[in-house]
Amino acid sequence: MSQETLETVFEEWQESEATAEEMIPLLGKLYRQYNIVTSLFGRSLINQSVIRILKDHRFVKKVEGTELDVRDTFPLVKAMTELDLGPAHIDVGKLAVAYKTRGNGDVHAFLKRELAEIIGGHQANGNHNEPKDVVLYGFGRIGRILARILIEKAGGGNLLRLRAVVVRGRGDIAKDLEKRASLLRRDSVHGPFAGSISIDAEARTITANGNVIQVIYANSPDEIDYTAYGIDNALIVDNTGMWRDEEGLSQHLACKGAAKALLTAPGKGDVKNIVYGINHTDISGDDRIVSAASCTTNAIVPVLKAVNDQYGIEHGHVETVHSYTNDQNLIDNYHKGDRRGRSAPLNMVLTETGAAKAVAKALPELSGKLTGNAIRVPTPNVSMAILNLTLHQGTDAEAINDYLRRMAVHSPMQKQIDYVDSPEVVSSDFVGNRHAGIVDAKATIANGRNAVLYVWYDNEFGYSCQVVRILQHMSNVSFLVFPKDRD
């Protein structure tokens, strides 16, 4: 390669960086001022770095087979800031690909056709309801990740406002607050918090990126009056798993200022188990207690639905290879569960999972068709589900992969199903992935009516994103989505 070619390649990279840098404040303006949530083939563009934006443009070729450069999307983003748009979710990547084929060189005319429903829809005084108060009851792994996501999404059209976290009482409040703030600030798996965190021991608050979060010390829900903190009609997210049935979770609703409760664990009895993107429309206005099911259930149900819709599932077995969790022991010690008392970092631990049976609560058509088991392994995060399925209709690996790729890019389950086709990916590559599950196309085995699918999932972050989606739905936060899929 000549020196001239080397210089040209580097100059093109610098030009792309400069364009991405110029795009970032425009994306922020669309979000903060116009409530426009932008993405690139399902990957969020909000609060992303220059390099992340450029990498996501390269991702398009892998899933769509189409080259997409940041210089293709920038004119669209710039023009969108000039159209006085109403709130919406807009996939800039899909718009850019469409513009290449039918834009006729006129960006404004193209956008006026594609976004006609929201052109001129912006209202300077606000065009949504007041933000919904959210309280996190419990501040462990899921609680802190939920806090990160809610803080990241604060403003714009999110309409969810993290007002408080509830933790058990401690002696030295100042020290306790500092420890909890430090755990939010630094995470061994998910890295440092993106922003600034401070505490006020006297007020018992943590302030993160301008969000003042009240820390409420209580040993049970009956000790709490949320209205005393200016919190009302709140959504209570129970991250403790202490109560999983309606009777136990109803304790939250007895608190002044609480409106509804969402459990971040499988619910029991009559509690609805919801997998967003699959059965979230089953939540009625009268439902005051619902469950977000489990991380594994969220990971496998969208893929199972997609496969069942296309090929039909006669029966199958789900084996989860799951990272160890906080309920296991660091070293061998007593545990009420079988095998879970053995050292989590030193062993693979065979245990049970209710995920296979839980599938039926979200997909009744698969009731009684699946069995399941689990192996806990010595990794701190990211798990895998192996779906060994017998189908009604035969297929091969190439066909089922192509179908699942299209589901990941062009279906209503786009935020639930991700797709990867790389021979080198391992579990750590999926830390922070916001999808419920990621189909590993290179591992797919299919021959006739037998198919084996490998689905990765970030059992902490991806699951927490699903929880936030349920919260938005329960708060009646909904947006028009553009562009409209044509296939």
State whether residue 4 is helix, strand or coil: helix
- Report which DSSP code applies to 331: S
Q: Which residue has the tokens 């406002």?
A: 161
Cβ-based neighbour number of residue 290 at 10 Å: 23
Length of the chain in terms of residues written: 487
**Over its length of 487 residues, how does the chain's per-residue pLDDT go in tens digits?**
787 778 788 898 999 999 999 999 999 999 988 889 999 998 899 889 999 999 999 888 777 777 789 999 999 999 999 999 998 999 999 999 999 888 888 999 999 999 999 998 877 655 455 789 999 999 999 999 999 999 998 876 567 999 999 999 777 899 999 999 999 999 999 999 999 999 999 999 999 999 999 999 999 999 999 999 999 999 999 999 899 999 999 999 999 999 999 999 999 999 999 999 999 999 998 999 999 999 999 999 999 999 999 999 999 999 999 999 988 999 999 999 889 899 999 999 998 888 888 999 999 999 999 999 999 999 999 999 999 999 999 999 999 999 999 999 999 999 999 999 999 999 999 999 999 999 999 999 999 999 999 999 999 999 999 999 999 999 887 788 999 865 4
- CA 414/CA 418 separation, integer angstroms: 7
The verdict on whether 465 is a catalytic residue reads no
Q: Residue 448 — left, alpha, or beta (φ > 0 → left; ψ -120 to 50 → alpha)?
A: left
- CA 203/CA 196 separation, integer angstroms: 18
Closest CA to 114 of 141, 147, 143, 88: 88
Cα Rg for the chain, rounded, in angstroms?
23
Given 150, 231, 295, 420, the catalytic residue: 295
Q: Which residue has the tokens 């997210």?
A: 237
State whether residue 45 is helix, strand or coil: coil
- CA 346/CA 325 separation, integer angstroms: 13
- Reply yes or no: is the peptide bond before residue 378 cis, omega within 30 of 0: no
Closest CA to 229 of 239, 218, 237: 218
The residue type of 386 is: I
With both helix axes pointing from N to C terminus, report the angle between 3-34 and 50-64 in degrees, rounded to the nearest 10.
100
- For residue 47, report the phi and psi dihedrals to the nearest 5 degrees: 60, 35
- Measured over the CA atoms of residue 96, residue 100, residue 103 and residue 108, the dihedral's sign is positive
- Answer yes or no: are the C-beta atoms of 263 and 270 closer than 8 Å: no
- Measured over the CA atoms of residue 166, residue 168, residue 173 and residue 175, the dihedral's sign is negative
**Bridge-based pairing state of the strands 383-396 and 313-323:** antiparallel
